[in-house]
Structure 1
Amino acid sequence: MTKRFREWVLLSIVASMAVCPAAKAQDRRVVAEPVAPHTVCDRPAPSGTNDTARLQDAIDHCPGGTAVYLGRGEFRSGPLEMKSGVTLWIGRGATLFAMPEPALYDRGRGQCGRIAGKGDGCRPFIRFSKTRGGGIYGDGIIDGRGGAPIAGSTETWWQLARRAQGEGGNQNAPRLIQIDHAQDITFHGVTLRNAPNFHVAMNRVEGATFWGLTIDAPADARNTDGIDPGASQDVTITHSFIRTGDDNVAIKAGDNGPTRHISIVDNYFGWGHGMSIGSEVNSGASDILVRDLALDGTTSGLRIKSDVSRGGLVERVTYENVCLRGNRWPIAFDTKYDPRAQGTRIPVYRQIALRHVRGDNGALLMRGADERHALDVTLEDVRFSDAATWQLENANVTANHSDVSPPLPGRAGEQLSGGWKGCAKAFHNW
């Protein structure tokens, strides 16, 4: 983290305490800044070779409520399984590297590191499965080494992903962190970078806090999403810096269940594909708050994406105090994400509210499936530059014409001052 970022986090914490964000947040928990465990159970030292067995042994033998502390140095490991209540504490000056060896992650089918019809051939680097409590803390780094050559090849995980895109298949690359069927998971302060695939993916999680994280991957590193809550509830992502080669955050709700009660509060997103909901929403996504967010150079900004192959109900989503700059599609609410998709799962987006949103240029897209399934959106104090363009199709937009700029198509209105210039301080602070 940069000095400027740390200063911003401190100021944001103080400001947030003053306005008591829990009163409005869609996460139903009362969320405060996490505190690391008071007891350190084990302090493994780096071996310089393969530290997997020693790290896993420390995690397995530490009791709940304690931490495995990695001090200064470079640790190298294959997949690790976390234990209920145990925290992995990455200290300042420590880096935990994922070893780029497909055989270590393979699920037994010989597909990890290859292109196939499915992309589920690898175990994640760090997995929380059916755990309660614990998490990852510290000022250190977890590095997935997505840009390093895979063992036995000159190709990197990212190059494999790009080749899969060209060949029409799926890359089998490990996610950095996977959280499955877990409760009360906490991440604080740590830097996650260079994931071979998603940085953090969640499935059926109840209660998770991500506070003060830095997530960083190159803009062209395919499928390196930042944090993806899926089939989960009561999740808060706050005071974090996220830039990736795909969605900065993507809220998903596929066949495993709905996702609801999510708070994305006080964050900065650099390059990436934006603040996304979808594309899988067939089980429903609801009760989502996005507040005090800067989106700087993301291709899309505020994004809801789905189609008839994976659509469902997305409702009660509030975007508040959002600043956008340098986005191709600052707003992209699209029910035809893949126009070639086939199916009967029609996406429906309703009770979507934008309040105090500022941006500069780009396309402002709102496209519903048809007249019967039109989007339901309310705008309040939404201002972009006069070079921005509205693209509305099957969208019922409620707004006061004096409150929106540029004017909505077919509605009289005057050009309002503002645009993203009103957000200059938000961008400068980062």
Structure 2
Amino acid sequence: MYTKDFKVTSGDIFTEVYEGDFYPNIPYDDYLRAEPLPEGAYTVDIRDCGAVPDRDDFNNRDAVQTAIDEVYAHGGGVVYVAGGSFTTGSLTLKSGVTLFVERGSALTASRNAADMDKGCLLYAENARDIRLTGGGKLCGEGEWYSLAPAEPPQTEPFAETLGVWELRQAYRRRIRFAHESKYGNLVRFVGCEGVRVDNFELENSAAWTLELNGCTGVDICDLVIDNNRHVANTDGIDVAGSSNVTIAHCFISTGDDGIVLKNSGELGRGEAMRDVTVRDCRVTSCTNAFKIGTETSFDIADVLVESCEFFLDDIYPGGVSGISIESADGARVENVTVRGIEMRGETCPLFISLNNRNSEGGRDNAGAIANVTVENIRAEGVEIPVIVTGTKKLTVQNVTLRDFALTYAPGEDYYDYRPFVPAYDDTYPECNRMRNLNAYGLFARYADTLTVESFAVTPRADTRREEVLLRDVTNYTRV
């Protein structure tokens, strides 16, 4: 039986920052650089429109928006932010506008929720050819919209091995849940085409950091996301119903999912999304480093994730999963390749889940997961096995696991014998709901055509669990 999830639901805004809230070792110089303004571009300096730096009590929104509007009216160009940190309410970016924030300068969210009336700091809708660059940053002031956690971060390993459900509650006691004033995301682009974010930092979001909702032609590179890892719902990059997206050479430190693909009625265009590539990224997240789901009412296809590092090794408990591939609401998720991943401190290295939450209705037992290859995976500090699970009515199809080397975290094994593992057919899928399974390497259920090649797992020395446990799996091959 589960205890109820712990959650702080009331209290005052809590702004104190603890050791362990922010990742201390981001190699900024590997991603960010000082660079000159684009030559020949029509440029408006926000200071020429009345912006005043380094004053928390002065809202620069009118000045910055005037600069954006002027550049847009000119047919495109550059809005130049330099000379300090400029407090502002919500802004709207428009077609043809490059927001160039000089390294060492910032646009910072107002601490007055009334100023954040668009539900984000920076918004764009149906815009074309927009860009964030310059080496500077947007700052969301996340703690100023959050409640106090029940406990400070855990910066040392726990004295004894905990079960994954206990680890989940330990993490939740450290979350800064939302204050009623919380305004929303840091950046939200809806229905945009030709989006580029490069040489840029997004810092201390109050919720999702970069939402790409129904966009096409997106190029993200040399982006640093540096969030308080205990502020709730701070996803790093949300690719929501967007296609032709490339995310490369980014460093993401955040409290919720690092890079996540979603596609639903509200998150997307109401049609299939495809062609998403993630490569050469480092992600440290308290939840899932890379995830497809949970919102999955419309199809997701042709996804490649390669040459990445997923880790959480300076605070405890570790991340929920390194890789999570889910269809819960009727989507067909197919043609997914994940390869060349190094992990440290991820509770579950890989979680593949097909179920029938059907959150938007009308898609009852319509989902599918098919044609998934995960290969060349190295993971240290795991707590539970690779999980591949469907339902009696929905079978995961054609999964290949190749070249895995998994090593468990130190300590005594945690044994949680259960003759029956609930299917969780119609609820929110999460690997830690399944607790410490009776296998240490692979647990698979309701799958067809599952191929495992070169799969090595080093369990805890005292384990009594089996390496592989299969339930209702057909066409299983072990090489």
TM-score above 0.5, yes or no: yes
Shift of 1:351: 0.4
SS state of the match for residue 63, structure 2?
A: helix
In 2, Cα distance between equivalents of 1:166 and 1:176: 17
- Tell me if structure 1 keeps the 8 A contact 2:178–2:232: no
Shift of 1:173: 2.6
- Tell me if structure 1 keeps the 8 A contact 2:300–2:332: yes
In 2, Cα distance between equivalents of 1:5 and 1:277: 28
Partner deviation per Cα, 1:25-74 (whole Å, 9 max, x = no partner): xxxxxxxxx99743251112341322111100000011344111111201
Supply the RMSD in Å over aligned alpha carbons. Answer: 3.3
Structure having the larger proportion of residues in helix = 1
- Tell me if structure 1 keeps the 8 A contact 2:113–2:182: no
With the length of structure 2 as denominator, give the TM-score of the two structures.
0.69
Alignment partner of 1:183 out of 190, 193, 201: 193
User: Is the alpha carbon distance of 1:258 and 1:400 closer, same or farther for their aligned partners in structure 2, counting shifts above 3 Å?
Assistant: closer
In 2, Cα distance between equivalents of 1:9 and 1:94: 13
With the length of structure 1 as denominator, give the TM-score of the two structures.
0.76
Structure-2 residue corresponding to 1:359: 379
Q: Which has the larger displacement, 34-43 or 369-378? A: 34-43
Shift of 1:312: 1.5
User: Is the alpha carbon distance of 1:166 and 1:248 closer, same or farther for their aligned partners in structure 2, counting shifts above 3 Å?
Assistant: closer
Partner deviation per Cα, 1:180-202 (whole Å, 9 max, x = no partner): 11100100111101111111112
Partner deviation per Cα, 1:191-242 (whole Å, 9 max, x = no partner): 1011111111122101111111111112221111111111110011110001
Alignment partner of 2:407 out of 361, 385, 399: 385
- Tell me if structure 1 keeps the 8 A contact 2:148–2:176: no
Structure having the larger proportion of residues in strand = 2
Shift of 1:412: 10
Partner amino acid, structure 1, of 2:276: I
In 1, Cα distance between equivalents of 2:132 and 2:357: 36
Partner deviation per Cα, 1:308-354 (whole Å, 9 max, x = no partner): xx231100000011111111111111224979999714431110101
Structure-1 residue corresponding to 2:308: 293
Alignment partner of 1:135 out of 118, 131, 136: 131
Structure-2 residue corresponding to 1:52: 61
SS state of the match for residue 407, structure 2?
A: coil
1:276 aligns with 2:291: yes
* Counterpart mapping for 1:10-409 below 5 A: 37-38=38-39, 39=41, 41-45=43-47, 46-47=51-52, 48=55, 49-62=58-71, 63-106=74-117, 123-148=119-144, 156-157=145-146, 173-255=183-265, 256-273=270-287, 274-297=289-312, 298-307=319-328, 310-336=329-355, 344-360=364-380, 361-363=382-384, 364-370=386-392, 372-385=394-407, 388-396=440-448, 398-401=450-453, 403-406=454-457, 408-409=468-469
Shift of 1:357: 1.3
In 1, Cα distance between equivalents of 2:450 and 2:101: 48
Q: How many pairs are equivalent?
A: 364
Shift of 1:305: 2.8
- Tell me if structure 2 keeps the 8 A contact 1:36–1:137: no
Shift of 1:167: 11
- Tell me if structure 1 keeps the 8 A contact 2:200–2:224: yes
Shift of 1:4: 4.2
User: Is the alpha carbon distance of 1:234 and 1:341 closer, same or farther for their aligned partners in structure 2, counting shifts above 3 Å?
Assistant: closer
- Tell me if structure 2 keeps the 8 A contact 1:134–1:184: yes
In 2, Cα distance between equivalents of 1:87 and 1:392: 48
Shift of 1:93: 1.1
| Higher RCO by CA contacts (8 Å cutoff, separation 6 or greater) | 2
Calculate percent identity across the aligned residue pairs.
24
In 2, Cα distance between equivalents of 1:188 and 1:246: 22
User: Is the alpha carbon distance of 1:232 and 1:341 closer, same or farther for their aligned partners in structure 2, counting shifts above 3 Å?
Assistant: closer
User: Is the alpha carbon distance of 1:98 and 1:132 closer, same or farther for their aligned partners in structure 2, counting shifts above 3 Å?
Assistant: same
Whichever of the two has the greater Rg, that structure is 2
Partner amino acid, structure 1, of 2:448: N
Partner amino acid, structure 2, of 1:178: R
Shift of 1:95: 1.5
In 1, Cα distance between equivalents of 2:147 and 2:100: 27
In 1, Cα distance between equivalents of 2:395 and 2:249: 36
Partner amino acid, structure 1, of 2:343: L
- Runs of 5+ in structure 1 lacking a partner? 11-33, 107-121, 149-155, 415-430
SS state of the match for residue 56, structure 1?
A: helix
- Tell me if structure 1 keeps the 8 A contact 2:186–2:205: yes
User: Is the alpha carbon distance of 1:305 and 1:337 closer, same or farther for their aligned partners in structure 2, counting shifts above 3 Å?
Assistant: farther
Partner deviation per Cα, 1:113-140 (whole Å, 9 max, x = no partner): xxxxxxxxx5221111111002110211
Partner deviation per Cα, 1:402-423 (whole Å, 9 max, x = no partner): x112364479989xxxxxxxxx
In 2, Cα distance between equivalents of 1:368 and 1:331: 14
Partner amino acid, structure 2, of 1:348: A
- Tell me if structure 2 keeps the 8 A contact 1:146–1:158: no
User: Is the alpha carbon distance of 1:250 and 1:345 closer, same or farther for their aligned partners in structure 2, counting shifts above 3 Å?
Assistant: farther
